[in-house]
Amino acid sequence: MSARAKPFSVTALPGFTTVALAVFFLLYLPIATLVVYSFNDSLSIAVWGGFSLRWYEAAWQNAAVQEAAVRSLVVASCAALIATTVATMAALGTTRRGRFRGQTLIYVAINQPLMVPEIVTAVALLIFFAAIKVATGYQGLGYLILAHSAFCIPFAYLPIRARLEGMDLTLETAAADLYATPWQTFRRVTLPLMAPGIAAGAMLAFVISLDDVIITEFVKSAGQDTLPTYMLGQLRRAITPEVNAISTVLLAVTVLLLTAFFLLTRKRG
């Protein structure tokens, strides 16, 4: 009897480990360089002048950085809240009922920001909000919050929908058999079970909004710089290691939130 053929695995190919390590090394080397040079004492971003925290102190004491950071946190928090609320309702509407006509079209509409280049979304939002600004005269931060919310909806929707699809429907059915109303079933059964997905979606939306540059650049009015657009403006003028320090802090926040997102969404045995 012939031996059973082993299933193909790309990890078994010769040199796979070497190539994988080389790819990860080249991918993260620029990021590691950025982090190291954020502690550079020299005024130059390319010449090492010794270890120092002076650029973190400079960024902390910079009024423009403080203002941009607060604005980024406000926009990201509001956008995450709005996007998560809309995404939760959309996930419930598309998973807690049988298939219906137009369901695929709804999926496409919800995930449109993921499929269309971000620059296209930014230009469309610019034209749309420009018409509203002309008609109303309002120039506030609301446009930026709404733009970020619209862009972040699919990022919040995907983990919430995945959580709902992985839930055991018998628990909701049992609640209905015990004469619970739809609202009681949702509040006492569905919502607690889908809470990790909601939290993961909110964190992912927050990170996407916090790091966004393209949509912010097109939608924001004068004096509404967020931290990423402030850094972009600094790069156009004079580059100092202060930008490296700000980038490192943003990187740390992003990594922490994405780690929490992974821990909330990973499958448990």
For 239-260, write each residue's pLDDT tens digit. Answer: 777 888 888 888 888 888 888 8
Q: Which of 5, 27, 52 finishes a domain?
A: 52
What's the domain range around 20? 14-52
CB 72 within 8 Å of CB 228? yes
For residue 1, tell me if it sits in a domain: no
The length of the chain is 269
Q: What pLDDT, on a 0 to 100 scale, did the predictor assign at position 267?
A: 55
Task: Tell whether 44 and 78 lie within a shared domain.
Answer: no
Task: Tell whether 112 and 201 lie within a shared domain.
Answer: yes
* Count of domains for the chain: 2
Q: Is the pLDDT of residue 22 over 70?
A: yes
pLDDT for 120-176, tens place per residue?
Answer: 989 999 999 999 988 888 888 889 999 999 999 999 998 898 888 887 777 777 887
β-pair partners for 40: 51
Three-state secondary structure string covering 216-233: HHHHCCCCCCCHHHHHHH
Task: Tell whether 73 and 123 lie within a shared domain.
Answer: yes
Task: Tell whether 21 and 69 lie within a shared domain.
Answer: no
Q: What is the mean pLDDT of the chain?
A: 84
For residue 6, tell me if it sits in a domain: no
Q: Is the pLDDT of residue 269 over 60?
A: no
What residue has token string 């400079």? 58
Helices (H) and strands (E) in the chain, counts: 13, 0
State what percent of residues in the chain have pLDDT above 90: 17
pLDDT for 86-120, tens place per residue?
Answer: 999 988 888 876 677 777 788 888 888 888 888 99
Task: Tell whether 45 and 141 lie within a shared domain.
Answer: no
CATH of residue 217: 1.10.3720.10
Taken in order 195, 201, 204, 208, the sign of the CA dihedral is: negative
- DSSP single-letter state for residue 133: H
Rounded to the nearest 10°, the torsion over CA 170, 108, 157, 219 is: -160
For residue 40, tell me if it sits in a domain: yes
- Distance, CA of 155 to CA of 175 (rounded, Å): 30
Residue 189 — pLDDT band, cuts 50, 70, 90?
A: confident
Degrees, nearest 5: CA angle 197-108-161:
15
Task: Tell whether 23 and 67 lie within a shared domain.
Answer: no
Task: Tell whether 25 and 72 lie within a shared domain.
Answer: no
Q: How many CB atoms lie within 10 A of CB 43?
A: 12
* Pick from 59-63, 72-76, 224-228, 259-263: least confident: 259-263
Q: Which residue, among 120, 126, 90, has the nearest Cα to 108 in the 3D structure?
A: 90
Q: What pLDDT, on a 0 to 100 scale, did the predictor assign at position 1?
A: 46
Average pLDDT over residues 196-202: 88
CB 148 within 8 Å of CB 209? yes
- What is the CA 238 to chain-centroid distance, rounded? 29
For residue 29, tell me if it sits in a domain: yes
- Distance, CA of 263 to CA of 40 (rounded, Å): 34
- Distance, CA of 189 to CA of 182 (rounded, Å): 10
Task: Tell whether 80 and 206 lie within a shared domain.
Answer: yes
Task: Tell whether 107 and 25 lie within a shared domain.
Answer: no
For residue 155, tell me if it sits in a domain: yes
Task: Tell whether 106 and 144 lie within a shared domain.
Answer: yes
pTM of the predicted protein model: 0.80
> What are the tokens at 95?
């998973």
- Distance, CA of 211 to CA of 65 (rounded, Å): 15
- Distance, CA of 166 to CA of 194 (rounded, Å): 9
Task: Tell whether 81 and 32 lie within a shared domain.
Answer: no
Task: Tell whether 163 and 245 lie within a shared domain.
Answer: yes
Q: Which of 52, 73, 99 finishes a domain?
A: 52
- Backbone φ, ψ for residue 51 (5° rounding): -75, 135
CA distances to 64, 73, 95, 142, 153 from 138, rounded to whole Å, are 24, 22, 38, 9, 24
